[in-house]
Amino acid sequence: MAQEIERKFLIDLDTLGTLPAGTRIVQGYIPTQGKTAVRIRLKGELAFLTIKGANQGAVRSEFEYPIPVEDADAMLAELCNGQLVDKIRYLIEHAGHTWEVDIFSGNNQGLVVAEVELDSENETVTLPDWVREEVTGESRYYNSSLIDNPYSNW
């Protein structure tokens, strides 16, 4: 079974320094029951359908499949009720891990988070000095939660 093991953090953007080139990501969620999330994502010139299970700490099942961009556009417009998450993702290497720094726009303007994917839940990770606070498992920071409760409403 495919699993995603990641930790999520708030960061201090002022201490991050110069960012590399980023990739725009636009994504929406198809309504589901329970804690399953079905995501449609446009990532640069590519598109993906992702199905995620419920979080168990920093671990959850994840299945991701490439799909045609035209299909993703149609699904975002027709199945996601027009509510989307828009962000720029920057990849930063630190101490043997790739950190994904997301700077949100639109209704989530001002939110900046960093995620690091791990091989195991007990893997040790060296935190960069720009990390402020861990928010792993805090559901309001899930991208799927930002659709109904955007950062601008907090």
**How does pLDDT run along the chain (154 residues), one tens digit per residue?**
588 899 999 999 999 989 999 999 999 999 988 889 999 999 999 999 999 998 887 888 999 999 999 999 999 999 997 689 999 999 999 999 999 999 999 999 999 999 999 999 889 999 999 999 999 999 999 999 999 999 999 9
Please state the pTM of the whole predicted model.
0.92
Question: Is-catalytic flag, 90?
Answer: no
In a 10 Å sphere around its CB, with 0-12 CB exposed, 13-18 middle and 19+ buried, how is residue 99 labelled?
A: buried
- Into how many domains does the chain fold? 1
How far does Cα 149 stand from its chain's mean position?
A: 15
Contact (Cβ atoms closer than 8 angstroms) between residue 16 and residue 101:
yes
Containing structural domain, residue 98: 3-153
Catalytic residue among 29, 65, 141, 151: 29
